[in-house]
Amino acid sequence: MTRVVGAVRGNRRTVWVAAASAALLLPLLIPPPEDADNASDRRLQNDFTAAADEYHVPLSVLLGVSYLQSRWDSHPGAPSVDGGYGPMHLRDTRSAVAAGARPSAPADSSADPSADPSADPSGGRSAQVTDLRRAARLTGAPADRLRTDAGANVRGGAALLAATQRALGKPLSANPADWGESVTRFAGTNDRAAASSYARDVFDVIRHGAHRTTDVGQQVSLPANPGLRLPAAGRPGPARSKNVECPAELSCSWLSASYDEIDDDGDYGNHDLGDRPRDQRIEYIVIHDTEASLRSMFQTVQDPTEASWHYSVRSSDGHITQHVRTKDEAWHSGSQFVNARSIGVEHEGFLTRPDAWFTEQMYRASARLVRYLAQKYDIPLDRQHIFGHDNVPAPTADTIPDMHDDPGPFWDWRHYFDLLGAPLRATAPPDSALVTVLPDYRTHKPAFTGCAGAGKPCAPHGSSAVRLYTRPDETAPLIQDPGRHPDGEDSTEDVNDLGSRVSAGQTFAVAGRHGDWTAIWFQGHKAWFHDPKAHPTAVGASGHLVTPKEGLSEIPVYGRALPDDDVYPEDATQEPESPLPYSLLAGQRYVTTSHVVGSYSDKSFTDTPNPVVHGRTQYYEIQFGHRLAYVRASDVDMVDATTTTGPPRR
């Protein structure tokens, strides 16, 4: 979430695309596990086959549409925020409201196709094609059954696809390519660019195939059809604003953030003019979730007393709205140092309700945008450059407790990097000196509290987060974070407490191994996590490490890299150094993937970008804990861990 921390200033706060582009966003075709023939595990696959046969819909089309709707997950009886149920994400707004969801629009609403989707409170939805109650009438099954029974839901989706095909005057053809327009309609949006992007993704899935185990343990497979002909392009959407910086195939619009003086004391908001990358290299993309509805966030970004960010991604269909030009500096991360070097991308949603908000269409649109930005600004696709708001280093010691926690432990980093075309994977043998945290998202379900009230257990859910202990024992105390808990409180299992956990894709130096446990160097300590051979939580990694220079018993760790004292202009406000309250001791090692040179800009409200002060001193960015950190290059030695073996397992 961007609001409150990140806005601070002083004391304030459409077309079909080429196959090469589409290939960046393909599902991984994973071989079915050995027990995939188990009859109960294949029940949903059989339901898809039966429904496709009954309604004369190509099985690949039905599976492809469902994959884009839900990745075949059913979330039994629980609606998405858009009022969608089951593997086909059939919408029933009335029941969703009764169940506590907050759909963005009434079930029978539609938007003007030519309207700016960012200004459309309905989210540009057109629910008729995916209406659950209409599906119930077509199949003769009770609506409640379609909400709670995955097989009935799939049958309803097949009936709706067939009815749409007939309404378009098209045959119930066995050729998937003949179903392009019906698939486009099934996107359920009047945003033509978003609908075309949706259909393209469906047919990409069909062409390349997919296999996964669903949230309820069902094995579902879609064989690849590489010879499938793509449907013709749909009509282009409305002309874009000239300000929009976005891939051509995405649905994007412009809603400007505020840039205004607030008072006569020099206070202003809510971003800074820049000339990036000429005056400051763009090195990071920060992934946020809004912790509010998008409509509320649009009001926030237009308020000069609030925060700003570059892009918003809508939950319902992945529509993207840009607010700040990428050359300018948005106030989104809680650190001016990171703001100056980053692009902030907000995702509509709440970290405690991932199934309702973190939709496949949102993941895919976001990944396309981030891939485009990473290529444009030469940003590496790794977890030290594409990271969450919860990984942003606190700039000073006293700001650590106020740093944010989104997108949280339920953001699927492994899937996100698959969609980026940069899959998180092993790059070294299991006994290597480095490990990349990589739990199986679906089956890895650490206990959390706080999703529905302080101290209350969260429902078990797949997670990217791995918990850390002081000893190789799950009854041992959790690792403590003196910055996060300066008053000495213990780390907890609260969903917002980052003090004792790491996340998928983060890479650390191995500090020890014992049985089914692995220790890493984490904020100056050995931190243990459960890592059984049969179901590993981490994989071998290669890379570079830094360690204190010989003769140094301890070196300081920073949350930002400042320029040298003598390079500040005479009239500039010089920022004081503020080492973080952690120790990097002799013998400890931490992973680095890049170095930076200190910089700072003394901000004020002007018509032109404020000058950036660049220093000479080099720093290494390190994965120090859950958050990143920086150490002076002069304090450390570089270690190539590519061929180094880690500590033996005891």
Percent of the chain predicted with pLDDT > 90: 76
Whether 31 has a pLDDT exceeding 70, the answer reads no
Same domain, 194 and 252: no
Asked whether residue 387 is assigned to any structural domain, the reply reads: no
Same domain, 182 and 274: no
Q: Give the model's pLDDT for residue 259.
A: 97
Q: Give the model's pLDDT for residue 648.
A: 72
Domain at 281, CATH number: 3.40.80.10
Q: Give the model's pLDDT for residue 241.
A: 85
How many domains, the chain? 3
Express each pLDDT in 65-76 by its tens digit: 999 999 999 988
Name the residue with higher pLDDT: 528 or 240: 528
Express each pLDDT in 220-278 by its tens digit: 999 999 999 876 655 556 678 889 999 988 999 999 999 999 998 889 999 999 999 99
Query: What backbone torsions phi and psi does residue 221 show, to the nearest 5 degrees?
Result: -130, 140
Q: Which residues pair with 223 in a beta bridge?
A: none
| Residue 70: both structure tokens together | 């839900």
Task: Look at residues 222, 253, 284 and tell me which one is the last residue of a structural domain.
Answer: 222
**What is the CB neighbour count within 10 angstroms for residue 248?**
13
Contacts 24+ apart (CB under 8 A), 225-231: 225/60, 225/176, 228/176, 228/177, 228/203, 229/177, 230/16, 230/177, 230/180, 230/200, 230/203, 231/16, 231/177, 231/179, 231/180, 231/181, 231/183, 231/184, 231/199, 231/203
- Determine the average pLDDT of the residues in 533-558: 96
Please count the CA atoms within 13 angstroms of the CA of 230 that sit on its side-chain side.
20
With contact defined as beta carbons under 8 Å apart, do 493 and 554 qualify? no
d(Cα 478, Cα 470) in Å, to the nearest integer?
6
Asked whether residue 277 is assigned to any structural domain, the reply reads: yes
Q: Give the model's pLDDT for residue 34.
A: 42
Q: How many residues does the chain have?
A: 650
At residue 376 the predicted structure's pLDDT band, cuts being 50, 70 and 90, is very high
Q: Mean pLDDT in the chain? A: 88
Domain interval for residue 197 = 19-222
Same domain, 34 and 9: no
Express each pLDDT in 92-149 by its tens digit: 977 655 555 554 433 222 333 333 444 443 444 555 788 999 999 999 999 999 999 9
Task: Look at residues 337, 364, 379 and tell me which one is the last residue of a structural domain.
Answer: 379
Task: Please list the alpha-helical segments (H only) found in 149-190.
Answer: 150-167, 180-186
Express each pLDDT in 490-508 by its tens digit: 999 999 999 999 999 999 9
With contact defined as beta carbons under 8 Å apart, do 391 and 627 qualify? yes
Same domain, 79 and 217: yes
With contact defined as beta carbons under 8 Å apart, do 641 and 542 qualify? yes
DSSP letters spanning 448-501: -B-SSSTTPBPPP---SEEE-BSSSSTTSPBPP-TTT-TT-PPP--BTT--TTE
Q: Give the model's pLDDT for residue 473.
A: 96
pTM over the 0.85 mark: yes
| CB environment 196-214: b (16+ within 10 A), e (fewer) | bbbbbbbbbbbbbbbbbbb
Same domain, 525 and 625: yes
With contact defined as beta carbons under 8 Å apart, do 521 and 586 qualify? no
Which region holds residue 421: left if phi is over 0, alpha if psi is between -120 and 50, else beta? left
Whether 644 has a pLDDT exceeding 70, the answer reads no
Asked whether residue 562 is assigned to any structural domain, the reply reads: yes
Whether 23 has a pLDDT exceeding 80, the answer reads no
Asked whether residue 506 is assigned to any structural domain, the reply reads: yes
In angstroms, how far is the first alpha carbon of the chain from the final one? 42
Same domain, 552 and 638: yes
Same domain, 464 and 539: yes
| Residue 5: both structure tokens together | 């921390």
Q: Give the model's pLDDT for residue 524.
A: 95
At residue 4 the predicted structure's pLDDT band, cuts being 50, 70 and 90, is very low
Whether 21 has a pLDDT exceeding 50, the answer reads no
With contact defined as beta carbons under 8 Å apart, do 500 and 559 qualify? no
Same domain, 347 and 427: no
